[in-house]
Amino acid sequence: MGSQIDRNTAGIVFILAGVTAISVNDMLIKQLSGGYPLHQMVFIRSSIGILFSLMLVRWEGGFHLLKTRQPSLHLLRGVLIVISNMTFFAALAVIPLADATALFFAAPLMITLLSIPILGEKVGPWRLGAVLVGFLGVVVMMKPWAGQAALGVPRVVLFLPVLAALTYALNQLMTRRLGVTTSASALAVYIQATFITVSVLFYIVAGDGRFAEGVENGSLQFLLRAWVWPAPDDRWLFLGLGLNSAIVSYCLSQAYRMADAATVAPFEYVGLPLAVFWGWAIWAELPDIWVSLGIVLIMGSGLFVFLRESMLKRRIASGRRVHRRY
């Protein structure tokens, strides 16, 4: 029992580090989204990130760790995280950082729910009720009563972070399963390699920007505009993206390898106040009353889920100690 508690604590530390790196990553991508296509940013970020990830592979034991007997599952995991990133960043180009992040935070709720059928983890009625409250927060942020004029963007754009959340949740649950036999650094390399492959395919098909001509939707422009050589002042930002990419991939993989998904997932909510901070500090954006209410509902439900999980673990540990004593 003590060993599992130690692993859960380590998983929490890794998830906090990974979420902090994600918030920096999102801020940098939004900052650069007006001048570069998403697939170019992904290519540069992942090309730098895979170098750091390969260094971690060497540090964790050597390149033999990259060998796997489940290449199809690793490929599926990579495709899921690519879809998650593409849909989230496409939304991020046209809606405030805090709004996109808040909608994306349906992911930890989905992880908690999906951990039941996929991983066989037990989630009781109290935690399920808290998850429903969190989903209510997502609905509030979607503002189903508002028209497109009030939203400021096509409603489909607001669904992009939710789709990103679903594919991210599935990815993390696969990480939990694959991590039993695969190191965190190897998992990170597979992800980076998938990103590079997809971005190269994007470049071959749309790298000259011909599909962006006449497109007015900001999200589609971000996906389809032509590649350009980074400006000198932006090269440091791209380097930061690459470093962050390696940190994110490693920390998230390690967190979900070491700890129960239902324990780790609520700590991803730290990304919400971080997104609000970056939005305020850089773009002078603050969430409106409905987004703020949604954030409160989601964070509140996540905190309840964690506290309930901790309480149940303490009860189980206490019961086992009594059993051994008698």
Residue 88 confidence class, pLDDT cut points 50, 70, 90: very high
What percentage of the chain carries pLDDT values higher than 90?
A: 19
Q: 3-class DSSP state for residue 216? A: coil
Q: How far apart are CA 72 and CA 70, in angstroms?
A: 6
By residue range, what is the domain housing residue 103?
2-325
- Contacts of residue 280, Cβ cutoff 8 Å, sequence gap at least 6: 286
Is the confidence at residue 311, as pLDDT, over 60? yes
- The mean pLDDT of 305-324, rounded to a whole number, is 56
Q: 3-class DSSP state for residue 136? A: helix
* Range in 35-44, 118-127, 164-173, 228-237 with the lowest mean pLDDT: 118-127
- pLDDT per position as a tens digit, 26-79: 999 988 888 899 999 989 888 988 888 898 899 888 998 898 888 888 889 889
Residue 21 confidence class, pLDDT cut points 50, 70, 90: very high
CB 175 within 8 A of CB 256: yes
Q: How far apart are CA 236 and CA 188, in angstroms?
A: 22
- The mean pLDDT of 297-323, rounded to a whole number, is 64
Q: What is the pLDDT of residue 5?
A: 58
- The one-letter code for the residue type at 321 is R
Residue 325 confidence class, pLDDT cut points 50, 70, 90: very low
Q: What is the pLDDT of residue 56?
A: 86
Q: How far apart are CA 243 and CA 252, in angstroms?
A: 14
Q: How far apart are CA 262 and CA 265, in angstroms?
A: 6
Give the CA angle between residues 303, 305, 311 to the nearest 5°: 100
Q: How far apart are CA 164 and CA 162, in angstroms?
A: 5
Residue 188 confidence class, pLDDT cut points 50, 70, 90: confident
Q: What is the pLDDT of residue 321?
A: 40
- pLDDT per position as a tens digit, 224-239: 899 998 888 888 888 8
Is the confidence at residue 216, as pLDDT, over 70? yes
Is the confidence at residue 2, as pLDDT, over 70? no
**Number of C-beta neighbours around residue 109 at 10 A:** 26
Give the CA angle between residues 6, 183, 238 to the nearest 5°: 105
Is the confidence at residue 268, as pLDDT, over 90? no
Burial class (CB within 10 angstroms; exposed 0-12, middle 13-18, buried 19+) of 323: exposed
The structural domain count of the chain equals 1
